[in-house]
Structure 1
Amino acid sequence: MILARCEGAARTFGSGAAATVALQPTDCEVRAGDRIALVGPSGSGKSTLVHLLAGLDAPTVGTVHRDADPIGVVFQGPSLLDPLTVVENVELPLLLAGEDDARARALAALERLQLRDLAEKLPEEISGGQAQRVAVARALVRGPRMILADEPTGQLDHVSAERVIDVLLAAADHAGAALVVSTHDPVVAARLDTRWKMASGRLSLEVPTWPR
């Protein structure tokens, strides 16, 4: 089952002489059960493609079709809301969607990631690795059919990075969800089955796999 499809989707920022083409016209599909590593250097267009697939941005030309609801998104940088406690951050997507049992489901998501004891702490009171795992819990709390993670380990040490990837893979397996992880880390990419490569805004779907 196709969960998301780009058909000639491209994204340009700015206009005229100052225009920057972040993503060239792109055709790709994300299917249920996919485990995709989106690899390439910083500035190659990985984040732009992830944002289009997630519906966080719209293509300048072309179309993006989505048949995945809900979608879970994990960002690279700090994304927790500072005034809210850990559990309040995790339950926020449920509250915004008007879903029931938000607090209980948020606590259960934290429990699965072994973060239950941090529930009442503020983001400033936890480590960077813990904050990223809380962000993962928030992305997974609604049981998404597609999980998109944009450089989720880019600011983490090796141990924390491995733990985040473990959690993402386990959550995708548990929910039967597709998982797309953008990364420039070959160790992270080696954990996923399929490689998409970005270079100068162009996507290549057939590239050599990273050695396992």
Structure 2
Amino acid sequence: MSPRKPARRAFLLITLLNFLSYLFSVEFVFLLSSVGVTSPIIIANGVMVYAAAALAGNLLITRVDARIGIMNTILAGLSLIAISFLICATAPNFWLLILGPLVGGLGTGLSIPSTIALIMRSIPTELAARALSFGTAMMYLGGGVAPILLAPVRSALGLRGVYYFSATLILVVMLPSLVPLFNRCWQTFRLRDSTPK
């Protein structure tokens, strides 16, 4: 595989992650209203939970990366984001619903910096500044087109349906990386099982 191929995939992943962060910055406000939350202060604090959890993910990333590696850190972050969308899609009340941005923020805090780190490791040093500029542009692009592209999805599937759709999208993105990971785990299990006791 070309050393720049992971970087190209990482740029697309950054775009997707910022695209989906719209669900916690804007759509989540409507989701809170749907479970009876009308106080602007509570709604604002609910949205801030996502930012606080993302900050916590940023602070944890060095330890997590050192333990499981950069690719597994990205996969762990994406898994948390997918779980957070499922929480938002099914939570019947505020106290369960608030777990969505808590889990999703943590996943975002793990996955976005890891993706940026993957880009920097995959390209020549002299292209680092250009890569960071392009990555920043892709982040803004993802956030900018989210309201336009998600509007038809919400019209077709409803408010909570957007979160089901987004969880499915994350799982589809993860699938090419999960299959080899499961294969490696299965081979390790078989080797351990076949080892003479």
Specify the TM-score bucket, using the shorter chain as the normaliser: under 0.3
In terms of fraction of residues, the more strand-rich structure is 1
In terms of fraction of residues, the more helix-rich structure is 2
TM-score (norm 1): 0.22
Higher relative contact order (CA 8 A, sep 6+): 2
Larger Rg computed on CA atoms: 2
TM-score (norm 2): 0.23
